[in-house]
Amino acid sequence: MSQTNLLTTTSPHVHDGDSVANVMEAVIWALMPATAMAVMIFGWTALLVILITTLSCLVTEHLFLKLRKRPSAVADRSAALTGLLLALTLPPHSPWWMCVAGGVFAILVGKQVYGGLGYNMFNPALIARVFLLISFPAQMTAWPAVNPLFSEQAYSLGDSIAIIMTGQSSAPELADAVSTATPLGQYRTETGMGKTVQDAMGGKYTGYDEVRAASGLIGGSLGETSALLLAAGGIYLLRKKVITWHIPVTMFAGCLVPATIFWTFDPAHYPDPVFHLLTGGLVIGAFYMATDMVTSPITVKGQIIFGLGCGLLTYLIRTWSGYPEGVSFAVVLMNAVVPLIDQYTRPRAYGQVA
């Protein structure tokens, strides 16, 4: 007689045990060192930006699914990851309402209107960043000087709350702080005015050198800072097989190969590849943004094309467009052609003659 306690679901009956939540969690863990570093460098404001953004994502996801009477998917950690990634693309002094707007936009417009996780075309964090960049250009490009936590110039927790919540602070140095530019921005503005790279970098802006850039002691958005820690997290993801090398490596190549070529021929007007690698969002983009599974190609061949495209577009935008930073736009643009890439890079099935 049949026993009802026995399942009769189809094969395979065993599984490697990995889950969506595991994957998302691994990425969150991989981002932790860089996140901690961001908080160290920028102080409490950074922590507030991260918390507010992530919470907005989680709450939006939860409420939306509840309204649609769907099971809550907060447990799959994808909303938390979106929030963290978005926060890391924001300036350290982002006002609270911008964080909230970004978080809500990322989940609602970036993901849920498409039908939820797995159906979205664009990376939700990046599409939200692009939205903020277009809507609030001033706030999105206000780069305070670095004020490491526990250092003399550090803001107190109270000051930090005031900065994020009201945009005001009793701290006198705030006014100066907002005036600095990121190295990429600096390069764009200065070379735009006819100066050579050396003049641009060596002259007015003195904050840039490779070591400081790599370790993160330099202005920029939260997650653009510590290339080293971001790369360490990326390598952790590679080793855990959460991501494969194809997208990061080809994205680096897509940006750095043309950078090297132009720099070799005209170092006066084109910054060196190390500069491109260490400043801006290339590292976080290559390891964490472009590799977003939902919005990148599914086949290896496709991933290589996609990575190259992301890198190349990044270089093009950085060098010849009106925007100093191109990673977000590049990845979002490439996201849009993923269905096409997928269609043309289907693997040759076993036993089919080429």
Partner 1 sequence: MLGSFHGGVHPHGNKGMASHKAIEPLPMPQRLYVPLHQHAGQPCDPCVTVGQKVLKGEEIGRSDAWVSTPIHAPTSGTVVGIEEYPAGHPSGLTMLTVVIDPDGEDRWSDSIAGIADPMNAEPAVIQERIRWAGIVGLGGAVYPSFIKMTPPKGKKVETLLINGAECEPYLTSDERVMVERAKETIAGIEIMMHTLPTSKCVIGIEDNKPEAIKAMTEAARSYNGIRVQPMPAMYPQGARQQLVEAITGKQVPSGARLVDIGLLVHNVTTAYSIYEAVVHGKPLITRVVTVSGRGIAKPANLETLLGTPIRNLIDHCGGMKPGVRKVILGGPMMGLAVDNLDVPVVKGIAGVLALLQNEIVDKPEQPCIRCGRCVQACPMSLVPSEMAWRAKVNQLDVMPELHLNDCIECGSCGFVCPSNIPLVQYFRYAKLAIQADRRAQKKLDMDKARTKAKAARVEQEKLEKERQKEAMKAAMAARKKAAAEAAPAEAAPAAPAAPATETVAAAVATDAAPVAEGAAALSDAESKAARAARAAQAARAARAAKAAKEQA
| Chain residues that interact with partner 1, rule: CB under 8 A | 1-16, 18-20, 22-23, 68-70, 76, 116-119, 293-300, 303, 342, 346-353
CA angle 174, 32, 323 (to 5 degrees): 55
Q: Is the peptide bond before 91 cis (omega within 30 degrees of 0)?
A: no
Q: Which residue, 113 or 261, has its beta carbon nearer to partner 1? A: 113
Q: Which residue, 268 or 300, has its beta carbon nearer to partner 1? A: 300
Look-up: residue for tokens 């190609």?
Answer: 297
Cα–Cα distance for residue pair 131/101, rounded to 1 Å: 9
Q: Which residue, 116 or 233, has its beta carbon nearer to partner 1? A: 116
Minimum distance from CB of 15 to partner 1 (Å)? Answer: 4
Contact 132, 329 (CB under 8 A): no
Q: Which residue, 2 or 206, has its beta carbon nearer to partner 1? A: 2
Minimum distance from CB of 353 to partner 1 (Å)? Answer: 7
Q: In sequence order, which residues have a C-beta less than 8 Å from that of residue 124 and are 6 or more positions away?
A: 82, 86, 106, 107, 110, 111
Q: Which among 266, 250, 272 is positioned nearest to 330, based on CA atoms?
A: 250
Q: Which residue, 117 or 305, has its beta carbon nearer to partner 1? A: 117
Minimum distance from CB of 59 to partner 1 (Å)? Answer: 21
Q: Which among 212, 159, 138, 173 is positioned nearest to 43, based on CA atoms?
A: 159
Q: Is 203 helix (H, G, I), strand (E, B) or coil?
A: coil
Minimum distance from CB of 296 to partner 1 (Å)? Answer: 8
Minimum distance from CB of 115 to partner 1 (Å)? Answer: 8
Minimum distance from CB of 284 to partner 1 (Å)? Answer: 20
Q: Which residue, 30 or 99, has its beta carbon nearer to partner 1? A: 30
Helix H, strand E, coil C: the string for 11-58 is CCCCCCCCCHHHHHHHHHHHHHHHHHHHHHHHCHHHHHHHHHHHHHHH
